[in-house]
Amino acid sequence: MHYNRGMRRNRSVPSSSVIPILPYPDVREGTEWLCRVFGFVERLRIAAHRAQLNIGGDGAMIVAEYIDRTRRPERGADHVSHQIMVRVEDVDAHHDHAVREGAEILQALVDQPFGERQYAVRDIGGHRWTFSQTLASDTGGTIDTSGTVDTVATTDANGDGTNATCATCAMTSCSTQLAACNADTACKCTYDCKLMGGAEGSCKAMCSANNNTAWSDMVGCLDSMCAGSC
Does residue 50 have a pLDDT over 90? no
Is 8 among the domain residues? no
Structural domains of the chain, count: 2
Same domain, 59 and 130: yes
Assign 162 a pLDDT band (cuts: 50, 70, 90).
very low
| Range 177-186 average pLDDT | 87
Is 74 among the domain residues? no
Is 95 among the domain residues? yes
| Environment class of 174 (CB within 10 Å of its CB; exposed 0-12, middle 13-18, buried 19+) | buried
pLDDT of 7-48, one tens digit each? 566 566 667 767 888 888 888 999 999 999 999 999 888 877
State how far the Cα of 15 lies from the Cα of 88, in Å rounded to an integer.
19
- CATH number, domain of 90, equals 3.10.180.10
Is 220 among the domain residues? yes
Same domain, 99 and 194: no
pLDDT of 205-221, one tens digit each? 778 888 889 999 999 99
| Range 78-101 average pLDDT | 84
Range of the domain at 216: 153-225
CA atoms 22, 26, 29, 32: torsion sign: positive
pLDDT of 126-156, one tens digit each? 888 989 888 865 444 444 445 544 444 444 4
The shares of helix, strand and coil residues in the chain, as percent rounded to the nearest 5, are: 30, 25, 40
